[in-house]
A = this chain, B = another copy of it.
């Protein structure tokens, strides 16, 4: 059985960080199979953000998983001995791109025909609504594992589906119409910034 550790969590055996050279040698990486890509999705986004940061294209980070620390042993160099994972009250990723605030959530589904909205906690919808009200750029990256595809979806579309539609999932046919397919590459792996630029910059701003 493979454990799906929560965001940013490593198991004991692999708690050492991989050497820098391994991280950057993505070009030599083999193309991953669809099943591997599943649990690889978060890692791919983190690597993408790292690429963006290293190349001064954007400053976007994954928010750490909130943990409620109950007991700390200060005799053992502040070892946490009792704690619980807490729910993220926001989305997983945020940052800045050309002065604009970006905020997004990454979701994966094993479903074959539609993306279940039960994947999205109510708190996240409310958070994204607040971000949009503040003129932030809000979106989802959705991985369809069975189809081996990744879509960029404006959060407004997801919110309106969540708020107005009686259906509890977004059919893939709908998602393909409204979303933007992102082909996974080598570096960056999930290159979503060009879509952000096209959708929220090129249209709304006059070319200089």
Place the interface of chain A in its size category: 35 or more
Residues in B with CB closer than 8 Å to A135 are 96, 98-99
Residue among A53, A58, A99 with max Cβ neighbours from chain B (10 Å): A99
Which residues of A line the B interface, CB within 8 A?
A: 5-6, 8-10, 12, 15, 53, 56, 58-59, 61, 63-72, 78-85, 89-90, 94-103, 127, 130-131, 133-136
Q: Please, how many angstroms separate the alpha-carbon atoms of A94 and B72 in the complex?
A: 27
Residues in B with CB closer than 8 Å to A100 are 99, 101
Pairs across A and B, CB under 8 Å, 17 listed = A8-B66, A12-B82, A56-B133, A59-B131, A59-B134, A67-B67, A67-B69, A80-B82, A80-B83, A80-B85, A96-B101, A96-B103, A96-B131, A96-B136, A99-B100, A100-B101, A101-B101
Residue among A61, A90, A95 with max Cβ neighbours from chain B (10 Å): A95
Residues in B with CB closer than 8 Å to A8 are 66, 69
| A64, chain B: closest CB distance, angstroms | 4
